[in-house]
A and B are shown apart, each in its own frame.
Chain A
Amino acid sequence: MIYVLPTLWAVVTFVFFIIRMVPGGPAMAVLGSYATAESIRELEKQMGLDKPLLVQYGNFLKDLCRGDLGKSMITKRPVSSEIAKALPYTIDLTIAGMLIGIVLGVPIGIMTALKRNRAPDYIGRILSLVGISMPEFYLGILLMYVLAIKFDLFPVLGGGNMSNLGSRLHHLVLPALTLGIIMTAFISRMVRSSMLNVLKEDYVRTAKAKGLKERVVIYKHALRNALIPTVTVIGLYASILMGGSVLTEIIYSRPGLGKMMVFAVKDRDYIALQSVIIIFSAFVFLINLLTDLFYSLIDPRIEYH
């Protein structure tokens, strides 16, 4: 925990300077290609970009310490309110993607481990390899084509009405499946290999020798131990999943954080980009923290001091 703040500071500092080193600026984005050099300079002055970089950095840190993320350079609206609007779409997507991954990935992993080198194992391994190899944008378009156009089951447009649960879920299904299928592939492979390792252990053999039922041996003795590396992987991929939401949100036109980040990069909206990166980083820390806490639930021998 004590590393959270210094790491966050390092991330935002890196982003602050790197984005300003990249050619292009927000003034050009606002004024368009018709703008004269004079009017671009004028707007840069209004945006405070004429000040020395270290002064800009100092102001940024000062505002950040006060909890003020600043105003978007393009829209002039408080970034915090833009993030507040976008965040639920990304959280919905990440959680749903992760749930699909866990709900499908863990049983598939167990099944393929138990049926090692038999037909279900081969099928599961091939499918998981396909899932891992398939880019999100391709899978997204494919799902859209089959489930939205051919079978007309789901909409392809937008994130739905956030105040209407039905509409929200209806619009969430396809993007969540896109991320969830990829997550399933990762998790099932991880569970399979962890289970194969654990099934060879003495305590599993002992449990079987004691005459315990197969189900008890698998779920109580084997799976519980296999879950520790799996949870690590789930935590890791949950962070990657948030990154994956960028492409998925673009494909399905969801107004989430990923889409906001792409727009901020494209328009060099320094303030919005810094803020989105802070939020993404904070989520990665939160997921890591939850993962650590989860270890002690799975294995009571793990204690934190």
Chain B
Amino acid sequence: MVALISVGIGFLTPAFAQEKVVREALKASDIRSLDPHYGTTTIDLACITPMFNALVRFKPADINPEKIEPDLAERWERSKDGLVWTFYLRKGVKFHKGYGELTSEDVKFSLEKAANKATSGFAGDYTALGKVEAIDKYTVQLTFKTTIPSVLGILADYHGGYIVSKKAAEERGDKFKFDPIGTGPFMLKEYVPKEKVVLVKNPDFFRGKPLLDRVEFWFMPDASSREMAFRKGEIDLVEGEREQSWVKKMREIPGTAIEIFGPGETLVLHFNMSKKPLDDIRVRRAICHAINIKELMAFLGPDVTEPLVSVIPKSYLGGTDKVPTYEFNPEKAKKLLAEAGYAKGLELSMVITEMSDYRRPMEQVQEQLRRVGINLKMDVITHTAFHEQIRKDVNPLVLYVAARFPVADTFLTHFFHSKSIVGTPTAITNFSHYNKVDDLIEKARSELDLTKQKDLWAEAQKKILEDAAALPLCTTKFVFSRKVFVDLGYEMRSTLVLSPPIAWTTDIKKK
């Protein structure tokens, strides 16, 4: 024991005292891919973002697609019909580790890779992309088969929009997934499977020399361990639990700032309209009236939740709050159930994932439904199994927690277009089997006038709520704790990366 303690004392002096390092811990066991065209999890996105750029970018910590600004492209032009887009690249942008200057060939390669099912997980976002041409070394022209709501959105610094080094991707093949080359402020130094990813600064970054020397992303699935590491000071930025109690506890630690930011994830209850008894609108409306959203939000925590009126947050492009709402009214719910022939109550069975982000709100909904005579039996299964089962249509109700590109078209297409109905070859996440707004979604997609486009999206949302195809519950925001000496370099408001991005301006203030 004495020997063990002496080992401990011998190592009290922190290493790397001279280096400016930020250590971030995320709720993950490992990364799945550092190839930006496959990265979907929070840990993947956290590591990918500092390594890559796109033609255009969201303003730091602002996900408003209307404010997208130049990144690798200095400027761009659009044809009158909105189908041909020409981008003029910055000159002198260098890829990491001597992979040369960014050219139009890299952009062509990257966008074609992103649009290819065999090399990208986001190919579905680029189905309207016809061809990509390298006009000259610094000019790229994109031709679309049809107009889409946000061309800049799919070219921005998120998912398939990231630009990779053609030479490195071709040279490395499958290995590119864990040894990628981009143009971002940080480059990969080390990946230790099941432990961490280490990035170091890219001194040639085109916006300026990054202020940090190194960033470490630690994979820590256990919440208590993350908290301990943060308390001890071995971690500077930690992913939290989206619970009020966690926020309160962490606020009490001296020198801690809590970051609660958007866009968060929407919690929407989708009703399976293809099966009894939810094929009856009276039953669906009864459920809507039986759920006390205020109580649910109070349970989840006022700091970490926000109201959600429609199935798309109002802050998103095309989001609206001018939709029919269902006030909490248990008596009305019981009356509707009786009218539908369920005066004595109703039994429903479903599966739910063990993940607390889903399980906790659903347990609350279960209790609320019990009060009006709906007995909801829930089997708790693993998250992977849950995703498979709900796509096999086993649930009458599906609680889906989602963060998507902040344009109405994405939400409406994924969740309410008939092509996305689960069980079909083109299925995505239409769990309601809803098919009554296809024309509105498609019309809006090809509408070039933004006001008219927004009206069409609003009309679709109104119809979805009228038909009670789904019930928006609330949005839950992302929660992180940060040591106050870590200066993110921007004011954290919202990000699609799902964690505070490490930027070239991120710095360590005097501890």
The residues of A with any CB-CB pair to B shorter than 8 Å are 22-25, 28-39, 42, 46, 74-77, 82, 85-86, 137, 141, 144-145, 147-149, 152-159, 166-167, 169-170, 173, 177, 250-256, 259-260, 262-263, 266-268
Contact = CB atoms under 8 A, between A and B. Distances in A.
B330 to A, nearest CB: 33
B427 A39 contact: no
A28 B29 contact: no
A145 B391 CA distance: 42
5 closest A-B pairs by beta carbon, nearest first, are A32-B40, A24-B384, A153-B8, A255-B194, A255-B195
B429 interface: yes
A121 B140 CA distance: 81
A251 B220 CA distance: 8
Interface residues of B, number: 65
Contacts of A255: 192-195
Contact of B388 (A28, A36, A42, A145): A28
Given A173-B7, A266-B382, A37 B178 contact: no
Interface in B21-39: 23, 29-30, 32-33, 38
A46 B177 CA distance: 16
A34 B428 contact: yes
Contact of A35 (B29, B121, B221): B121
B4 interface: yes
Contacts, number: 169
Interface in B412-467: 414, 420, 422-429
A33 B429 contact: yes
Contacts of A32: 40-41, 121
A28 B387 contact: yes
Interface of B: 4-5, 7-12, 23, 29-30, 32-33, 38, 40-41, 117-118, 121-124, 174, 177-178, 192-196, 218-222, 224-225, 228-229, 231-232, 234-235, 381-389, 391, 402, 404, 414, 420, 422-429
A148 B5 CA distance: 11
A253 B218 contact: yes
Contacts of B117: 38-39, 42
A24 B391 CA distance: 10
Nearest to B124: A36
Contact of A262 (B29, B40, B231, B387): B29
Nearest to A38: B425
B195 A148 contact: no
Nearest to B9: A153
A222 B420 CA distance: 74
B218 A263 contact: no
A172 to B, nearest CB: 9
Contact of A157 (B10, B218, B224, B429): B218
B195 A253 contact: yes
Contacts of B224: 137, 141, 251
Nearest to B392: A23
A37 B391 contact: yes
Contact of B387 (A24, A36, A42, A158): A24
